[in-house]
């Protein structure tokens, strides 16, 4: 081998290594900038991302109805109207008990605190001693009285953010309608914007795979959560909890948020149980029932139903829920799992990203091999 050829090869390898090393800082800066954009523009990006996730979920239904000669616009209208009707019915059915609990929130928390205070005599004595010392210190000084400005209550805070929530909901549903009504226009644009046929084929396969996985996840989880809501509603009714429908719906909604949703449901049942029952044991039993049913669902029902292709690394899921909850609040917690599923599905088709897909997967879950032989629909 000529020496000049070896020198050229070494130079090319060194240049490629330098280029690879210089890429990582750029990736880090890009990720930091992207996080900043997500946080700064969350008012716009939250409904947009939620609408696209819903569109990917309902696209297989739209495509099936298109084969039955039903226009995409009609399908989009039916889906949006159905979602809006379900949301309105849910709000109307739960407005009375939720409003009652919100209006009486200070009294509820005070009653729960008073019962919990009786559990420990030591805590009660320390609190009384602290109150006495504070009273004596106020009587022994001539300092002017402190003026406390009353903060807005829970009802006022909810009324203040209600227009924002309404605007976000309207934007999500309107954008969802336009995406579904446009049919496969986005897919066609992607295909036309990519040069090589191999890349066109891969892009369409990635989109179809994400569609299939998100549809399966959302529909499976929705059915499971509905069954869990019915079970928890019946369980709360059997032990004498007020408004069992509220707890069933809360379980249905909370269970879309991994881990943290179950904790919120347990806390809700325990607090309401404290003001409903005479003993703390009965209140703890209400929280235990919620915990037992959600644990049964999380450990046996959901893993069996979703299959290996949707199982994710539990640590990554928790961190994703924490991050998106910090960035986008409750909506972020709901979209965290679908985003991870979409990223994992994307990484299955890109050889350089299969390591990322394997990291996002559960311990015994294996990535699906690239399906290059999958036929592409027109």
Determine the Cα–Cα distance for residues 74 and 78; give it in Å rounded to an integer: 6
Residue 262 contacts by C-beta under 8 Å, 6 or more apart in sequence?
254, 255, 290, 291, 294, 295, 298
Residue 113: which of 101, 100, 123 has the closest Cα?
123
Determine the Cα–Cα distance for residues 335 and 50; give it in Å rounded to an integer: 7
Q: Are 361 and 367 in contact (CB under 8 A)?
A: yes
H-helix segments, 182-196:
185-193
Residue 49 contacts by C-beta under 8 Å, 6 or more apart in sequence?
335, 339
Determine the Cα–Cα distance for residues 373 and 378; give it in Å rounded to an integer: 15
Q: Which pTM was predicted?
A: 0.73
What pLDDT was estimated at residue 236? 92
Residue 309: which of 335, 347, 336 has the closest Cα?
347
H-helix segments, the chain:
3-40, 42-67, 72-103, 105-117, 121-139, 154-181, 185-193, 197-238, 244-254, 260-276, 280-296, 302-306, 314-349, 354-360
Other beta carbons less than 10 A from residue 100's beta carbon: 14
- Residue at token pair 């499971």: 224
> Averaged over 93-110, what is the pLDDT?
71
What pLDDT was estimated at residue 148? 46
Q: What is the pLDDT of residues 208-218, one digit of tens each?
A: 888 888 888 88
* Res. 270: pLDDT tops 80: yes
Q: What is the pLDDT of residues 247-258, one digit of tens each?
A: 898 899 888 888
């Amino acid at each position: 081998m000529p020496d000049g050829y070896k020198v050229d090869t070494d130079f090319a390898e060194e240049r490629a290594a330098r280029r690879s090393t210089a890429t990582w800082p750029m990736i880090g800066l890009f990720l930091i900038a992207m996080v900043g954009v997500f946080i700064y523009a969350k008012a716009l990006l939250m409904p947009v991302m939620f609408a696209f996730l819903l569109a990917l979920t309902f696209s297989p239904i739209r495509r099936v109805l298109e084969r039955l000669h039903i226009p995409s616009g009609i399908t989009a209208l039916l889906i949006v109207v159905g979602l809006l009707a379900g949301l309105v019915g849910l709000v109307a059915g739960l407005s009375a008990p939720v409003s009652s609990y919100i209006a009486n929130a200070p009294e509820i928390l005070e009653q729960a605190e008073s019962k919990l205070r009786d559990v420990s005599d030591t805590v009660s004595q320390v609190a009384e001693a602290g109150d006495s010392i504070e009273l004596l210190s106020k009587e022994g000084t001539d300092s002017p009285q402190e003026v406390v400005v009353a903060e807005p209550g829970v009802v006022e805070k909810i009324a203040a953010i209600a227009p924002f929530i309404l605007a976000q909901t309207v934007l999500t549903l309107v954008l969802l309608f336009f995406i579904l009504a446009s049919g496969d226009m986005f897919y066609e644009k992607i295909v036309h914007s990519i040069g090589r046929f191999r890349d066109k084929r891969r892009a369409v396969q990635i989109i179809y795979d994400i569609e299939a996985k998100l549809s399966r996840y959302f529909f499976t989880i929705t059915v499971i959560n509905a069954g869990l809501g019915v079970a928890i509603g019946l369980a709360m009714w059997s032990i004498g909890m007020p408004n069992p429908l509220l707890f069933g719906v809360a379980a249905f909604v909370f269970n879309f948020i991994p881990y943290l949703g179950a904790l919120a449901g347990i806390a809700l049942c325990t607090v309401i149980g404290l003001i409903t029952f005479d003993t703390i044991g009965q209140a703890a039993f209400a929280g235990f029932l919620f915990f037992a049913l959600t644990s049964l669902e999380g450990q046996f029902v959901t893993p069996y139903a979703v299959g290996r292709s949707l199982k994710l690394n539990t640590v990554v899921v928790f961190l994703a829920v924490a991050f998106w909850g910090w960035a986008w609040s409750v909506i972020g917690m709901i979209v965290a799992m679908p985003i991870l599923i979409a990223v994992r599905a994307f990484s299955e088709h890109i050889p350089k990203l299969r390591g990322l897909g394997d990291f996002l997967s559960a311990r015994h879950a294996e990535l699906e091999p690239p399906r290059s032989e999958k036929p592409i629909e027109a």
